[in-house]
Structure 1
Amino acid sequence: MANSHDIVIIGGGSAGYAAARTAADRGAQVAIVDQGPLGGLCILRGCMPTKTILRTAEIAALMRRVKEFGLSPVDVTAHLEQIVDRKDRLVREFADYRIEQLRDPRYKLYQGAASFLSPNRVRIGSQEVEAKAFVIATGSVPNDISVPGLHETGYLTSDTLLDLRDRPASMVVLGGGPVALEFGQFFARIGTAVTIIQRSPHLLSHLDPDVGSALEQALREEGIVLYTGTALQRVERSGSNKRVTFHHEGREVHADGALILQALGRRPRIDGLALDKAGVAVINGRVAVDDTMRTSQPHIFAAGDVTNLYDIVHIAVQQGELAGFNALQSEGALRSFDSRLVTDVTFTEPQVATVGLSEMACRAGGIPHLAASYPFADHGKAMCRGDRHGFVKLVASPAGGKLLGAQIVGPEAGELIHELIAVMYYHGTVADLLRMPHYHPTLAEIITYPAETLAERIGLP
């Protein structure tokens, strides 16, 4: 006999737990299936451990600049094993709290891998479980990229690099996205010689080129070797090192390192789910969903990285809440995901934060827009802090000045972006940004400068 529940959530990470909590709050009998380790990607291998180690690198980098601020120079030596120990302690605390939540009596927790037997039944080990509705929230795993010699030579991913306890003398990073850049800068700041190889013409290729260029300048000044617009050719051993060969600007180039970090993206974790038996469509390796998070099977929903829409935790939570709500709804009463306020932060230094539409997205979608930017190098508070890299850019509608999006490259960008999220949430304009008081001197007042430029160009009072 199969155990029966109102809804089964497959995956206990950020999206899965949000779906389970939402469904339980609505009175459903909820089961959670997680093959472990319990805690979810964000806590165990993503946001929390990476931001913990990045804080150490930020402090080290600032200490090396003390002479600039009139202080006596200090010798900064990083001890990777101690950095990892601190990271592990914090992750354990975060994970223990999540595990306590998953084991709440409101839920039935099954620890094991789920595999669909039919659209209404899954197998978990020796048990069978059936439900009226399902939410798939199994997350993602590192991409398996085909580069000749890469597997034979050996590499690390963001999942395995976090456990490294001996600082490598050198490292080659494949990729120019957030994961590649955060790890690359971290290791460079603790004394590793880092080379970053990006296939696209600029870093953070999903954003406007000027964003990637500003960050590239800052990383180069820290001593990181950067190549953009490359084509990977092969990987092989070179003495005690590993060698990556690639084409760059019409010639063959190679980079050597003690380690290779393969940071060329992640893919949905769907292996073993037997989604074909559930009648769930998979498109280009991802679980296909509509804006209600419903899959091709009406009673099965999906949320988070497994949909491959956004690899961002707060969005996974939003999607999980939607999926948990909609899975219990009758037809015609479903809520939809609003992508208007999609926000992303890369925790390099300078940080990169974006919300809404970029210039690139507006051009691709044929959306009328105006943009204006202002550099931190000419902003008083940033100059006092010694933060000269980056800019704030606003994108607005030419008709009325409604704020469509924003990009910030600079100090505390991840915090500053929230003012712009709030204004956009209420469908505000660049004129609203000017009417709001901004304390002087603060980093936040830089937002008013591009807002003023746009207001003048649009003709707003």
Structure 2
Amino acid sequence: MIVIGGGSAGYAAARTARDSGADVAIVDPGPLGGLCILRGCMPTKTILRSAEVAALMRRAGEFGFAPVEVRSRLGAIVDRKNTLVREFADYRIQQLRDPAFTLYESAARFISPQLIQAGSRHLTARSFILATGSIPRDVPIPGLREAGYLTSDELLDVREQPDSLIVLGGGPVGLELGQFFSRIGTRVTLLQRSLHVLSHLDDDIGSTLEQALREDGMEVLTGVSLLRASGGGRAKTVEFLHQGETKSVTGAEMLQALGRRPNIDGLQLGAAGVKVDEDRVVVDGTLRTSQPHIFAVGDVTNLYDIVHIAIQQGELAGFNACHPHGPPKEFDDRLVTEVIFTDPQVAVVGLSEKACRARGVPYLTASYPFADHGKAMVLGSTRGFVKLLAAPETGRLLGAAVVGPEAGELIHELIAVMYYHGTVQDLVRMPHYHPTLAEILTYPAESLAEQVRRA
């Protein structure tokens, strides 16, 4: 087997195939480590922790301490991030260079469905797994390239704090990085084309987060049409249409966070006979492409840009590639989970209300606010809510959303219940320690259990 790409998805595929007895080569041009470690999950969560500390220090008076003047040192924050990322990356590189694999540190391109070129070498294998990840998407906004912008890849290495920042896009990347810079003292304006940030989720999630960000001092404008960009250097201007009026905003830096696209440049997938649809590699439920011996996993499929799902896909594809004559494993999207590490955090699992309506799935829903929850009040973290969705006849948990403190941790209790096809009645019966944040899950569960009894 040849795995093209040594990030989280690629390494998971290679490890699974090796454990199944395959002779595995990994082809990656570097830098080794993958998006999650180098430019995604780990570096962003490291700097967000610094912003959380700064925000809490500014609230010292609420908790009985003398007010604290917080002055950020962006260079020191970046240094801490780099130290941790290097440690994470070194461990991954050690795994990739394990003698159990053959590692080729070069780009790969297909010459035929069975043959690739990796540097000066020609390599062939019984099966291939594409795991080349994603890159920032170019967007056709007049003047944007000339004005100059940063992507999330580049913004993570900025050491001189800008006094103002324009963020284009209200998805997870734009929101997390926008709030980070706002909390360390940069004036941030976020422009979102949809009516709410996080437009792929339910509207109540986006509106709740928008309100929190505005209360923290960010300017968040939604429902905008981006017209053009101009300027350059330390004065970049974006013109846009908002509520029927043409407006503009100027900032020292601009973050283009309008999405990423599968990284397939240079692979020559046409030579391999692999079907591509709008840059994404098309796969079936077993992660096979249009060529039965070629699989694709992670961001390159453009199904989910979430690392733990990429790892699951890598393991599944690695297994299927090594067992061509057995019943294949299929990816199950029932427990798809997403966490956005803003403050308040956002975490979702399973079906949303939008998804239920689109698929014609009947559901009951109930929610409960953190503002009325004792432990949240003690912590001073009362923004947000918990929402559960359940099947009307049985109470089986269909999905959930948590917007609030430690949402990324709280969602895992709901994942566990859903993993075992549990119900809201199960949530009610399970003991919950008092006082804890997790207790809040029982309140909408009680409401739904009562609705199910009446149904």
**TM-score normalised by the chain length of structure 2:** 0.99
Structure 1 match to 2:320 = 326
> Where does structure 2 lack aligned partners over 5 or more consecutive residues?
none
Please give the per-residue CA displacement for 1:292-344, whole angstroms capped at 9, x wherever unaligned: 00000000000000000000000000000011111111245110000000000
Q: Is the 8 A contact 2:130 2:294 kept in 1?
A: yes
Q: State the match for 1:104 in structure 2.
A: 98
Matched, 1:89 2:49: no
- Could you say what secondary structure the match of 2:33 adopts? coil
CA distance in 2: counterparts of 1:386 and 1:18, whole angstroms: 40
Letter in structure 1 aligned against 2:292: P
Whether the 8 Å CA contact 1:149–1:236 is kept in 2: the answer is yes
Structure 1 residue matching 2:162: 3-state secondary structure:
coil
2:109 corresponding residue in structure 1: 115
Shift of 1:460: 7.3
Query: How far has the Cα of 1:441 moved from its partner?
Result: 0.6
Amino acid at match of 2:185: G
Is the partner of 1:273 in helix, strand or coil?
A: coil
Query: For residue 337 of structure 2, what is the aligned residue in structure 1?
Result: 343
Partner of 2:283 in structure 1?
A: 289
1:200 aligned residue (190, 194, 213): 194
Q: Distance in 2 between matches of 1:409 and 1:328?
A: 41
State the Cα deviation string for residues 249-299 of structure 1 (Å, max 9, x = none): 111111110000000010000000000010100011100001100000000
% identity of equivalent residues: 68
In the alignment, structure 1 segments of 5+ residues that lack a partner are 1-6
The residue aligned with 2:382 is 388
1:174 aligns with 2:168: yes
Residues 238 and 153 of structure 1: CA distance in aligned 2, closer, same or farther (over 3 Å): closer
Aligned-pair CA distance for 1:399:
1.1
Shift, 1:240, TM fit: 4.3
* CA distance in 2: counterparts of 1:68 and 1:148, whole angstroms: 47
**Which whole-Å CA distance do the structure 2 matches of 1:188 and 1:181 have between them?**
10
- Selected match of 1:61 from 55, 62, 65: 55
Is the 2:146–2:232 contact (alpha carbons within 8 Å) kept by the matching residues of 1?
no
Task: Report the equivalent of 2:428.
Answer: 434
Per the alignment, residue 448 of structure 1 pairs with 442
Q: How many residues align?
A: 455
In 2, the alpha carbon distance for the partners of 1:245 and 1:238 equals 14
1:239 Cα offset (Å): 8.7
Moved more, 320-329 or 339-348: 320-329
Distance 1:253 1:361 in 2: 34
SS state at 1:260 partner: strand
Shift of 1:78: 0.5
Query: What is residue 379 of structure 1 aligned with on the other side?
Result: 373
Q: Which residue of 1 aligns with 2:28?
A: 34
Which of 391, 395, 410 is residue 397 of structure 1 equivalent to?
A: 391
Query: In 1, Cα distance between the equivalents of 2:213 and 2:398?
Result: 29
- Does residue 211 (structure 1) correspond to residue 185 (structure 2)? The answer is no
Cα distance change, pair 443–460 in 1 and its aligned pair in 2 (3 A): farther
Q: Check the 8 A contact 1:178/1:204 in 2, yes or no.
A: yes
**8 A Cα contact 1:200 1:228, kept in partner:** yes
3-state SS, counterpart of residue 132 of structure 1: coil
- Aligned mates of 2:292, 2:176 — CA distance in 1: 39
2:258 to 243, 247, 264: 264
The residue number in structure 1 matching 2:6 is 12
Could you say what secondary structure the match of 1:233 adopts?
A: strand
Q: Distance in 1 between the 2:198 and 2:149 partners?
A: 22
Residue 22 (structure 1) aligns with: 16
| Structure 1: distance between partners of 2:156 and 2:381 | 28
Q: Which amino acid aligns with 1:423?
A: V
Q: Distance in 2 between matches of 1:289 and 1:329?
A: 18
Indicate if the aligned counterparts of 1:8 and 1:32 stay in contact, CA closer than 8 A. yes
Deviation at 1:397, TM superposition (A): 0.5
Which whole-Å deviations, capped at 9, do the CAs of 1:392-434 have from their partners, x for residues lacking one?
A: 0000100110000000000000000000000000000000000
> Are the aligned partners of 1:430 and 1:455 in contact in 2 as well (CA < 8 Å)?
yes
Alignment partners' CA distance in 1, 2:324 and 2:217: 58
Maintained 8 Å contact 1:43/1:95: yes
Does the CA-based 8 Å contact 2:147-2:232 persist in structure 1?
no
Letter in 1 for 2:127: A
Q: What is residue 3 of structure 1 aligned with on the other side? A: none
Change (3 A) 1:43 1:368: same
Partner of 1:79: 73
In structure 1, the residue matched to 2:417 is: 423
Indicate conservation of the 8 Å contact 2:234/2:253, yes or no: no
Deviation, structure 1 residue 48: 0.4
For residues 128-167 of structure 1, the aligned pairs below 5 Å read 128-167=122-161
Q: Give the TM-score normalised by structure 1.
A: 0.98
Which portions of structure 1, spanning 4 or more consecutive aligned residues, are displaced by more than 6 angstroms?
none
